[in-house]
Structure 1
């Protein structure tokens, strides 16, 4: 996850706390502020998932069937 989005999450989180302190924790402004934080966290999670390289079908097959002949690894 990039530091930029983490910095933005931290800023929004701080702002949400201020809004909730001034407007009240039951206010719609407080709820909206925390919604913004959650949206950023979801985006950060999505970016993190995209950064992971996906396994090929063959790698998935070998993970599920490690004893299959075509998945054996021989050390020299």
Structure 2
């Protein structure tokens, strides 16, 4: 299963790069694509350690909740 998630991460990384190249680095498409990468990386990390662990972004946002990178949008 771990190998499968690594393949999916690689696919999402490529999709994120393509989205940013096509739509621009500050586009919502680019941000959403990188969010998908982050989520998969977090899942892979959880599977490795067997429990929840904060990503570097989560730790940063805990310390800097007002930062642009930490904004949360709700539908």
- Under TM normalisation by the shorter chain, which class is it? 0.5 to 0.7
Q: Distance in 1 between matches of 2:42 and 2:2?
A: 13
Give the aligned CA root-mean-square deviation in angstroms.
1.6
Runs of 4+ in 1 over 4 A off after TM superposition: none
TM-score, normalised to structure 2's length? 0.65
Residue 29 of structure 1 aligns with which residue? 29
Q: Which has the higher contact order (CA 8 A, sep 6+)?
A: 1
Q: How many residue pairs are counted as aligned between the two chains?
A: 51
Within 5 Å, give how 1:7-46 maps onto structure 2: 7-46=7-46
Q: Distance in 2 between matches of 1:34 and 1:5?
A: 16
Residue 56 of structure 2 aligns with which residue? none
TM-score, normalised to structure 1's length? 0.64
Q: CA deviation at 1:16?
A: 0.3
